[in-house]
Each structure stands twice: as structure tokens, then as C-alpha cells.
Amino acid sequence: MKEYHRIIFVTESGTCRAPMAAGILAEYRLIKPVEILTRGLIVLFPEPLNQKAEAVLISNGINMSGYMSVQLQEDDFTDDTLVLVMEHVQREKVLEKYENARPQNVFILTELVGDELEIIDPYGGTLQAYGLCYETMRKTIRKLVNLLNEGEEENV
């Protein structure tokens, strides 16, 4: 896999799956340092982390206190930035809306790691739905870590 210095997780509002993914990835040791960010496709004003997503993260030892959503911008796209979305529709929106977005740098997270299904948005669901999203995301992020560390001498 190409070497990236930044990874940006992008979802609709940037208040649930993107920060969950970023929080999970930050828990792993990457051989090469990477800046981990989150963005939303539609952020009219900064919003805090979804309460149920935050509860699930806290129960798994991940603290995202002070988190606020941020709008995706043209200058977020650079050659050494990997942009990861959760759904096909989001990838299409990113590639259509942002001139600097390149197909070789914008991927659906699950497709990149070889999984078939997208990570379902738990928004509006039960706390258990958020927990299931977290567990699914954790398995997918583990595969991402293996990809990012691939070819390196050490293992995660």
C-alpha cells in the first residue's frame, strides 16, 4: 500500500462512524506515524460526538472528549492523504464535489480492506446497534492497520 501521512475518515455529519473509526485507529500502533482526522460531508456548524457513539467508545476505553465535527474542505486532499468513507454514495459525493479529490486516494473503508459489506450507520438506533457498529468497525480497522503496516519489519 502507498505510504500516507494523513488518514481522514469521512461520513455524512462526522459525528458517529468517522470519530469511532478515528478513535479505534488511534488505539493501534502504526509503524509509520500518521495523522488521523475526521470530517463530515455536511457540517453546517460544529457538533459534538453522538452520545451513543461516545458511550460505546468510553465503554471500550476510548476517550474522545471535546470532539467536534469539521466540514471536509478542498485543502484536505493531498497526495499523501488517504480519505476513507463508509458508503459508496459518500465516495461518489466526495469525488463529485471536491476538485482535489482523486479516485486513487478516496476509498470505501470496507472495500479497501477486502470486506464485502459497508459499515451500517447506527444513527437513531439502539445503544446495541452502536455497539455492533463499533465491533464491526474494530475488525475492519484491524485489517486497515495490517495494510498500513504491511511490508514493514515489525508486526502490530
pLDDT in tens, 59-85: 999 999 999 999 999 999 999 999 999
Does the pLDDT at position 155 exceed 60? Answer: no
pLDDT band at 152 (very low <50, low <70, confident <90, very high): low
- Measured from the Cβ of residue 42, the count of other Cβ atoms closer than 10 Å reads 12
pLDDT of residue 151: 64
Secondary structure (3-state) at 56? helix
Q: What is the mean pLDDT of the chain?
A: 95
Angle, in degrees to the nearest 10, between helices 17-27 and 127-149:
50
Tell me which of 3 and 62 has the higher pLDDT: 62
What are the residues facing 68 on neighbouring strands?
48
Q: Which domains does the chain have, with CATH numbers?
A: 6-149 (3.40.50.2300)
Q: Give the whole-angstrom CA distance, residue 85 versus residue 59.
A: 24
pLDDT of residue 146: 96
Does the pLDDT at position 24 exceed 80? Answer: yes
When pLDDT is averaged across residues 114-120 and rounded to a whole number, the result is 94
| 109 CB-near residues (< 8 Å, 6+ apart) | 9, 21, 84, 85, 86, 119, 140, 144
When pLDDT is averaged across residues 93-97 and rounded to a whole number, the result is 98
pLDDT of residue 118: 94
When pLDDT is averaged across residues 46-69 and rounded to a whole number, the result is 97
